[in-house]
Structure 1
């Protein structure tokens, strides 16, 4: 992986945000997940496609009436370099919603502006349910969606599946202690059989999948999701953008910084200007190395910088 700093600067100026479509039915844990990704305890801000801020009360009122605009942009103050678009997912018989999502993906894929395109799709499946994959979910993954956007399946609320596994074991005659010791493996077996296997057997299965435990706990994290997303991005420049925007996995920043440095430099010491590219809150615009002249711009989490 060799990175041209000038191209990175050009990409960052044209595309300061990483844009994600998150799909999931009601109570899939999407908002909780996004809060964890953006290190936020506050609710997001909602903006219209034109950039006008929308009152959350209006958004919630529309949702209660069954109205939902996938074009709206969901942004957290703690990390405004992520832009999210929210789909309600495909409840039973929601043909209109499925078409709306596919049309949205196609429109974004057809945009000439890289900043307006989708960069990743996160598809949430709650595992604390008796309906693992809906027919509409299967139809979505059996259809070739335009754009070749990396899609990561996220199995949320695994803690609920643990409870289900515990109750099954107890019902089958296990003692409380036995059920407690076996519930982890039994829950994983259920996840593999009822969720992962049917999903990965679809015609256009996800690029990757992750399992998320109770994201409401302070000790929980989304580092696996961040790493899987980075690994599914085949464009090196887009991967660099994502790694620098995310603020959860510093190890990932170091990993890619070393890869870039070793691939780019013929010296034993890693080039400082390349290393800085991969760290959250810091964006390297240029450096006076003798080969070219520039300046160092430090970006904080608000997305604004200063020399």
Structure 2
């Protein structure tokens, strides 16, 4: 992942205003930044000011920009002469000297009798910047009908249905984009397998990949390919001749596009070996594990390497309940190689799109935070001139965007923000008094909360102010103080922990106020006090203007992380009642 992104200066308008006593007349102006040039000309001759509005706002990412104002100087009895007044615009100065004017953030600077007024747009979320470059992870899945593509996609991306096999034999349209309304962060292309007697499918796939590779925008390119192959029986063949040809030519066809071979229906392979072992009266656990490895190597891995080379990526996959770890392995292998060979933005979008690995969600939250707003929190130029609500809201958006829940409108609501702001300054909260494992502690609290309800549809009661307006300090301007540092650090860790609990409760379902309140209440009773007290201790000991605050945030998140391999077992311990997704009053 890229280490840091400078916060762009988002300019929404520029006004160039002459003093009434000036003998100059402004003809036009030039704004130069990032090797770009923006010309500003008069809309109407009679306009006194020279102005321009920018929609979308201009993003200036360099430390310095320049504005050249081209004028005519007129003195009585003299021929008009041209002159240029230059303004050096430093991002640091603009951010530190902006003021609120009628709800608009403005920066003013004057040279002689010319005043320049620059209006700035609101804080831009890092997640939005990433998703603007790569709004969807674009995946090509190749495999014969019946190999298990549909079920694999449904589980990996947490959707109810995908139509990769709803076409007649031989009629798959590889150019068709499959986008699920339940998860808009990935787009799927489907290619049927390459049969020995038909080269047309292989040629169609080659042409499609070639066209996509030549597209200039990352969002239009193929980011990864999954080649799905069923594990054959003992006397079966793994690769059709068409697939062998594709693999032989993969580096020429694909370039740097990662391809992962997924050996599907691994559960059937394991069941068959275990059944044969039990029937032979020679059942031995250690010997059986060795047999699985040897047989898989003989049937799949060796034939694959002979056709594609030893560096071909591969993994086994099963969509059965007890084999969720195999899907996580496929997702992790894909993400790692997309980051290595494509771009970090595509890898982040894959982490956002997938809904099976809680660890990758936490990793993506940290990666996006490190790009911008989590760095140098205590002395940040990013937040200068903004209110605390502005600062926390952009951090809030970055985090909830990563978790990519179905129907997440409630997570963006003022009511949810009010829940997260409650007790933000308070470290005097109840402690669990038990050996700490965040996942187990959370599950025990959820179980207790649900057991205490009068009925399955009884409302969850969480005390919360009517709205964030009641918390006065959120409307204060950001200041470089310890209490501000403490609040931002606490908000980041609290929200990340609540997102993990929501992943346990409703990773693929709508997020209702009822689910949110259960998650918030469980966190309050499971780990909130520890987080708050440790942050307060950290801030009181050291003035964390640098990245020591970032290191502490990451440490606390890691200490309060639910392990991906534990998610399935933890979910099994929670007996979720009916009506969990039903909306109720906050």
TM above 0.5: yes
Q: For 1:36 and 1:9, locate their aligned partners in 2 and report how far apart those are by CA, in whole Å.
A: 26
Paired position in structure 1 for 2:361: 253
Higher relative contact order (CA 8 A, sep 6+): 1
Listed as ranges, the matches of 1:162-241 within 5 Å are: 162-166=270-274, 169=277, 174-175=280-281, 177-178=283-284, 182-203=287-308, 208-213=313-318, 215-217=319-321, 220=324, 222-233=327-338, 234=340, 235-241=343-349
Contact kept? 2:231, 2:264, Cα under 8 Å = yes
3-state SS in 2 of match to 1:93: coil
Paired position in structure 1 for 2:264: 156
CA offsets, 1:233-267, max 9 Å, x none? 12222212221222221211223444565687665
- Are positions 1:68 and 2:187 aligned together? no
Q: For 1:45 and 1:24, locate their aligned partners in 2 and report how far apart those are by CA, in whole Å.
A: 14
Taking structure 1 as the reference length, the TM-score comes to: 0.73
- Are positions 1:102 and 2:220 aligned together? no
- Structure 2 residue runs without a partner (length 5+): 9-125, 381-391, 409-476, 480-506, 510-586
Taking structure 2 as the reference length, the TM-score comes to: 0.41
Q: For 1:204 and 1:182, locate their aligned partners in 2 and report how far apart those are by CA, in whole Å.
A: 29
Out of 21, 26, 29, the position equivalent to 2:145 is 26
CA spacing shift, 1:38–1:218, aligned 2, 3 Å = farther
Paired position in structure 2 for 1:134: 240
Out of 371, 396, 402, the position equivalent to 1:279 is 402
CA spacing shift, 1:132–1:219, aligned 2, 3 Å = closer
* Bigger CA radius of gyration: 2
Aligned residues: 269
- Structure 1 residue runs without a partner (length 5+): 47-58, 291-299, 303-307
Paired position in structure 2 for 1:49: none
CA spacing shift, 1:266–1:281, aligned 2, 3 Å = closer
Contact kept? 1:124, 1:155, Cα under 8 Å = yes
Paired position in structure 1 for 2:158: 39
How big is the shift at 1:198? 2.7
How big is the shift at 1:94? 2.8
3-state SS in 2 of match to 1:145: helix
How big is the shift at 1:182? 4.4
Contact kept? 1:91, 1:134, Cα under 8 Å = yes
Contact kept? 2:142, 2:227, Cα under 8 Å = yes
